[in-house]
Chains A and B, each alone.
Chain A
Amino acid sequence: MKEPTLFKEVIYPPSVLLAANVNALTEWTSLCAPAESEKTPSAGALEIIGKENTQSEYVVFQALPAGARAASLIKVRLEKHARVRLILIQDGAAASHLEVIGDCAGEGSEFEIRGLQNAKDTQRHSINVTVVHSKPNTRSDMKVWCVGRDQGHSIFKGMIDIKPGASQVEAYQKNKNLMLSDKAVMDAFPKLLIANDEVKAAHGASIATLEQDQLAYLQSRGISRVDAEAMVTRGFIHQIVDDIKDVELRAKIESKLGLQEFVEESLGWAVDERGRGV
């Protein structure tokens, strides 16, 4: 009998299958079916299989045209002792939705998810991330940072699902929302579903405006209020980008997000253990 594909429940054509063993950047446009027009909804899917004893890093970058509407499904399956880091950035389009389902299906596997939403104008970005821990001794770490400007709408739904047989699991979920406009809307739904007592798990979400003490500190060093606000915001965004371990990938994303000038001062200094400064 033919092995059923992992995409049997996926309704979005086409799908892209990647066997994990490398670091890679995927433009969202390559995930989605070509839209007939800018306003035609487009959809796509990506499957990542973290092969046994491999380490991979994937960046999915959504920079669709301003009027576009798109949805994508990303499935990640981690085999034994596989390590996958998935970075998801939603920047363009009028509306975008990401559905992410990760399964730590192999013992000792580790899954890191980093998400960044930049909702401006009247953009609507949503992301649902579910991480299933099917096997013992698995680990996941989810961080999704959202920026809400203008009348942007940002939605985060996170779920950690630890199955009964999955003992000694460590699973963390954090969602931070930076609200830069009183007309922006930010929704956060962090959830845990735990069916095993021998686990460590935590989740949390926060929604905040710019911190006055941070701005006051920067201003006390001669930086204007406007520049201080921009600097703190770029710092917030950069926390996620800085988690990209692959130096070349990180530089590409910094360039796409207009952070080059912001980070260039960090280049040329003695390198740290992360390869920063090369």
Chain B
Amino acid sequence: MSTTQENQPQFEIKDLHVTVEGKEVLKGVNLKVMPGEVHAVMGRNGTGKTTLSYTLMGHPKYKVTQGKILLKGEDITGLPADERAKRRLFLAFQYPVAIPGVSVASFLRASMKSVRGGEVQPAQFRTLIKEQLKQLSIPETFMTRSMNDGFSGGEKKRLETLQLRLLQPAMCVLDETDSGLDIDALRIVSENIQNFKSEERSWLIITHYQRMLNYVKPDIVHVFGSGKILQSGGADLALKLEAQGYDWVAGA
């Protein structure tokens, strides 16, 4: 039976097993995200959520020992991170690394050129960037600073959000983008994500809290524990977890 365009998942994880430095952390993750859907993944610390996000992005430290990752039906399991990015997969890092000496402007232009393919005209680049800076209340002087070097937690997350909007991904994975944000920054970042939703764009939001989900409403919420998804439900599941914690979830 052939898969039609309409019912093809945007993103699919099939029986994913991953080891980190010889230790198995992910133990059979299955997930299907349709175009336009927002999925939230919640779970206790140390259950493998960040391992999941890094594996999806293709970090070489995380070894897939079994299973597949599919983006629009294409198996991307063996692809390096840059090829995944070119296919419009984006990870907003929980802890974006500093790259001293590399200016934000230089990095963003290189990234845009790579992901979009071909030359990005300077005037077009500046117009796009200025608009995004304004949206995210980021001062223009950021552009000449080194990437994430000496940035506060909130500044890093705003810059991740700026990149997300600039690179126009089809599948967005957010790894605790709401952590380290004050109330105003959380609102700005969340609103920018909410405004960026579309019928073609899908989301996997890894979070500990309901607060971001108040802005970006999930269609499906998954409880993550012991390296796999233990339970899935609607948006109410996040509220229940917020109120009752994880003790009631078997295996969490």
Contacts and interface: CB of A to CB of B under 8 A. Distances in A.
B140 A265 contact: no
Interface size class of B (residues with CB under 8 A): 35 or more
Contacts of B102: 231-232, 234-235, 238
A17 interface: no
Interface string B157-169: 0000001000100
A222 interface: yes
B60 A235 contact: no
Interface in B133-173: 139-141, 143-146, 163, 167
Contacts of B240: none
B114 A222 contact: yes
Contacts of A232: 99, 102
Nearest to A268: B126
B50 interface: no
B110 interface: yes
Given A222-B167, A223-B114, A276-B144, A234 B101 contact: yes
B86 interface: yes
A178 to B, nearest CB: 11
A237 B101 contact: yes
Contact of A219 (B80, B105, B108, B146): B80
A100 B126 CA distance: 44
B109 interface: yes
Interface of B: 57-61, 80-82, 84-86, 90-91, 93, 96-97, 99-103, 105-111, 114-115, 126, 139-141, 143-146, 163, 167
20 contacts: A212-B60, A216-B81, A219-B81, A220-B59, A220-B81, A220-B85, A220-B91, A221-B107, A221-B114, A221-B163, A222-B85, A222-B111, A224-B114, A235-B102, A235-B146, A239-B100, A239-B101, A263-B103, A263-B106, A265-B103
